[in-house]
């Protein structure tokens, strides 16, 4: 159990285009999903917290107009990188929290999406 998928696993796009990344919890309902960004050989940095049916909460320094997050159902959250630029190239990882949505429940992570912006 506790499987989280991401699609696509890898995407290459031209500068100025928008890219949508999907995160799905396959065998459980996730009231909360998280989006992280990881630069090469670096740790995970939380970008935003996505709650089903409400607006995402963004971390300081993360542009909400650039990184659009939608959590339309208990099993799906999407991250759209709008007008992508080379500096947006990174490894994006989502996670979903099991349980009744308590802050200390375990987060299960997706396999990540490697975005390369040319």
Q: Which spans of this chain sit near other proteins (rule: CB under 8 A)?
A: 2, 32, 34, 41-44, 46, 49, 57, 91, 93, 95, 103-104, 106-112, 114
Report the residue number, 14 or 103, with the smaller CB distance to other proteins: 103
Report the residue number, 38 or 82, with the smaller CB distance to other proteins: 38
Cα four-point dihedral sign 79, 91, 8, 82: positive
Report the residue number, 28 or 82, with the smaller CB distance to other proteins: 28
Report the residue number, 9 or 18, with the smaller CB distance to other proteins: 9
- Write the CB contacts of 79 (distance below 8 Å, at least 6 apart in sequence): 20, 21, 23, 35, 47, 67, 68, 69, 92, 94
CB of 2 to other proteins, least distance (A): 8
CB of 55 to other proteins, least distance (A): 14
Query: How far apart are the C-alpha atoms of 43 and 74, rounded to whole Å?
Result: 27
Query: How far apart are the C-alpha atoms of 95 and 107, rounded to whole Å?
Result: 6
């Amino acid at each position: 159990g506790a499987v989280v998928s991401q699609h696509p696993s890898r995407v290459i796009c031209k500068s100025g285009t928008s890219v949508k990344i999907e995160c799905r919890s396959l065998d459980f309902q996730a009231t909360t999903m998280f989006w992280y960004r990881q630069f090469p050989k670096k740790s995970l940095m939380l970008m935003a917290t996505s709650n089903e049916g409400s607006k995402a909460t963004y971390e300081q320094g993360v542009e909400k107009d650039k990184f659009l997050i939608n959590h339309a159902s208990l099993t799906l959250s999407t991250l759209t990188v709008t007008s992508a630029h080379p500096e947006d190239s990174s490894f994006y990882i989502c996670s979903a929290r099991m349980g009744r949505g308590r802050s200390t429940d375990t987060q299960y992570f997706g396999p990540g999406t490697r975005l390369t912006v040319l």
